[in-house]
Amino acid sequence: MQQENRPDLIIQGSTNTSGGVYNLVNVQGFGKITGNVECRELRCAGHVTISGDVLSSFGKVEGNASISGKVEMDTLEVYGQVDINGDVDFTKLRVDGSAKVHGSLTGEEIKVRGFLKTTGDCEAEVFVGKGAFSVGGLLNAGRIEVHLHGGCEAREIGGEHIEVRKAGSSTLNKLLKHIFNNTLSVDTVEGDEIYLEYTRAKVVRGNNIVIGPGCEIDLVEYATDLRYDPSSQIKEQMRR
């Protein structure tokens, strides 16, 4: 089917419909779509449940979306809430709201200013976290930048350049500090260049490692250089 001949699917009230191939899928009311959906653009400002896979060039969720299958998108922006029961493949992912993925994330760029949870691995070229995240498996990216605005966790973190810093001292962050545990909890961190603040880890392994304030680490293995803040706790250090 040629793209110019694809119909639009507009849901404004309460609608149950079948999946299919569309140009624009725009949900402003309450929609239930049964089957796979292929579209150029998916927009949800209401509530939608899709029982199937989703293939789209662009997706924007400002309301609530629940997808029971896998998702493939060039760009996915989440300002509301999305729950995906499958793997997600993308080029760019932006999460300013809440995204829960019961599977793995694979793409080029991830920016998190809200909350991101995935039960599997999370792989990208660039990962920037300025919110909170929970990665059930490996968080792997060429460049990882984390600004701790909330509790963050991953089973493992790997990358060429890894940087974890405490968020700024704004009034909001001071209030959140009393509510949330603004630390990173991880079993293993491994990379070439590593800088960590307020991180709890079993093993940190790399070439050039700087351990900033607020860290609790069982073992640090370094190849070239290790520097650390005296306020942090390092039980054991080893040069490889």
Residue range 91-120: mean pLDDT, rounded: 98
Domain boundary among 36, 55, 90: 90
Domain match, 108 and 161 both: yes
Residue type, position 7, single letter: P
Residue range 101-118: mean pLDDT, rounded: 97
| d(C-alpha 190, C-alpha 220), whole Å | 10
Residue range 197-219: mean pLDDT, rounded: 97
Using DSSP's 3-state secondary structure scheme, residue 56 falls into strand
What rounded mean pLDDT belongs to the chain? 93
Domain match, 108 and 86 both: no
pLDDT given for residue 150 in this prediction: 86
- Domain of residue 222: give its range: 104-240
Location of structure tokens 């073992």:
219
Is a pLDDT exceeding 70 seen at residue 2?
A: no
Domain match, 135 and 234 both: yes
pTM given for the model: 0.91
Is a pLDDT exceeding 70 seen at residue 194?
A: yes
Residue range 109-132: mean pLDDT, rounded: 97
Question: Strands (DSSP E) along the chain, which ranges?
Answer: 9-11, 14-27, 30-44, 47-51, 54-61, 64-67, 71-78, 81-84, 88-95, 98-101, 105-106, 109-112, 115-118, 122-129, 132-148, 152-166, 184-196, 199-211, 216-228, 233-239
Q: Which one, of 232, 135, 147, lies nearest residue 186 by Cα?
A: 135
Does residue 58 lie within any of the structural domains?
Answer: yes
* Tokens coding 231: 């306020």
If 0-12 CB within 10 Å is exposed, 13-18 middle and 19+ buried, where does residue 115 land?
buried
H helices of the chain, in order, are 171-177
Q: How confident is the model at residue 168 (pLDDT cuts 50, 70, 90)?
A: low
Count CA atoms closer than 13 A to 161's CA, side-chain side: 6
Q: How confident is the model at residue 4 (pLDDT cuts 50, 70, 90)?
A: low
Percentage of the chain exceeding pLDDT 70:
92
Is a pLDDT exceeding 70 seen at residue 218?
A: yes
pLDDT digits (tens, 9 = 90+) for 124-153: 999 999 999 999 999 999 999 999 988 999
* Tokens coding 170: 């704004």
Q: How confident is the model at residue 170 (pLDDT cuts 50, 70, 90)?
A: very low
Does residue 99 lie within any of the structural domains?
Answer: no
Domain boundary among 90, 121, 147: 90
Using DSSP's 3-state secondary structure scheme, residue 108 falls into coil
Residue range 89-102: mean pLDDT, rounded: 98
Domain match, 128 and 232 both: yes
Domain boundary among 90, 118, 144: 90
The rounded Cα 207 to chain-centroid distance in angstroms is: 26
- Structurally, the chain folds into a number of domains equal to 2
